Amino acid sequence: EPWISNWVSEKDSGQYKANNKGIGKATGQIYAWLNSDDIYLPNALTSIGKSFMEEDNIGAVVGLGRKLNEQGKVIYVPERPKLDFQSLANEWGPKIIWQPSCFFSNQAWKQCGPLDEDLYFCMDMDLWLKIAQNFKLNEFDQFQSHAISHRAAKTTGSREYMAVEHALVLLKRYNVQKSALYYLKGLADSAIESKQKITALTQNPIYKLLGPIYRALRKLRKNINESSPLAQSSNQLPLYFRKQLK
């Protein structure tokens, strides 16, 4: 580990707490974070370092990235929005900044950080918007990172929660309706699709045979859950949602 000057493995309150602690120990001029299912591509750090040297007072340099499945096949290449604040805020959703390919300056972190630990999904979006309000963001038209999609990934298994949090932050903190409506429309479309699937299922003759068994098992599960210490479902929600429910 010749390139690592400090590392810690310890229990904390979550990903964003760990990110804040890690960046808080950083001594360089360019910051970024890499999740356990992300990888940098060859020469990514060198090329980004050179990009920062070409212009002073840059808040962030934003490269490109890809999402791969567990077999290494490219399944998603996000489109990057324009990087001024208004475009970034209004185009967010259909277009995004690929988090592992975004590198930001020490100065931007000091002025716009730390990451909001009350958020669960969109703390990176929140940070990029804050930086865009105060600094110039430069495009870097090379692929810098890959992310691996798998079932255990936070954003893969909790899309509905993620959409709600994005919409709340965009509306309440930045008064951006266009991007918030993108996420809310996605939730509505998902609900309609689910209803259609349920309707088709209940009209299937096999459902009449399996339905009573399913309902009996569901009732049994409910009784078990109600007797469990984890029955307080609101306490299992991300902190940001719990605050909205109060």
Could you report the per-residue pLDDT of 3-21, keeping only the tens digit for each?
A: 788 888 888 888 889 999 9
- Mean pLDDT of the 60-67 span: 97
Token output for 130 = 């804050």
Q: Give the pLDDT band (50/70/90) at residue 157.
A: low
CA-based nearest residue to 37, from 208, 187, 213, 157: 157
58-67, 137-146, 171-180, 229-238: which range is least confident on average? 229-238
Over residues 176-184, mean pLDDT: 92
Mean pLDDT confidence for 91-117:
96
pLDDT at 62: 98
pLDDT average, residue stretch 37-52: 95
User: Higher-confidence residue: 206 or 147?
Assistant: 147
In angstroms, the CA 233 to CA 237 distance is 7
| d(C-alpha 70, C-alpha 92), whole Å | 26
More confident position, 215 or 142: 142
Confidence class for position 245, pLDDT limits 50, 70, 90: very low
The whole-number average pLDDT for the span 120-146 is 96
**What confidence score (pLDDT) does residue 8 get?**
84
Paired with 138 in beta bridges are 61
- The predicted pLDDT at position 20 comes to 95
The strand pair at 30-31 and 74-76 is best described as unpaired
Over residues 22-36, the mean pLDDT reads 93
C-alpha closest to that of 159 among 170, 169, 171, 151: 151
Q: Under 8 Å CB-to-CB from 106, ≥6 apart: which residues? A: 26, 28, 29, 30, 31
Q: Which tens digit of pLDDT belongs to each residue from 191-241?
A: 888 888 878 877 777 767 777 777 888 888 777 666 655 445 445 555 555
Mean pLDDT for the chain? 86
Residue 154: the pLDDT is 63
Contacts of 213 (CB under 8 A, 6+ apart): none
Strands 38-40 and 136-148: antiparallel
pLDDT at 230: 47
User: 79 - beta bridge partners?
Assistant: 95
Q: For residue 200, what pLDDT is reported?
A: 81
Contacts with 178 (C-beta within 8 Å, 6 or more apart), sequence order: 90
pLDDT at residue 111 is higher than 80: yes
Contact 34, 40 (CB under 8 A): yes
Q: What is the pLDDT of residue 223?
A: 75
Please give the structure tokens belonging to residue 35.
Answer: 């999740």
Mean pLDDT computed over 91-108: 96
The pLDDT assigned to 239 comes to 55
pLDDT at 187 over 80: yes
Q: How far apart are CA 123 and CA 176, in angstroms?
A: 16
Burial (Cβ within 10 Å: 0-12, 13-18, ≥19) of residue 120: buried
3-state secondary structure of 244: helix
Widest distance between CA atoms in the chain: 70
Exposure string over 170-206, b if 16+ CB within 10 A, otherwise e: bbeebebeebbebbbebeeeeeeeeeeeeeeeeeeee
User: What integer is the mean pLDDT of 100-115?
Assistant: 97
**Mean pLDDT, range 56-60, rounded to an integer:** 93
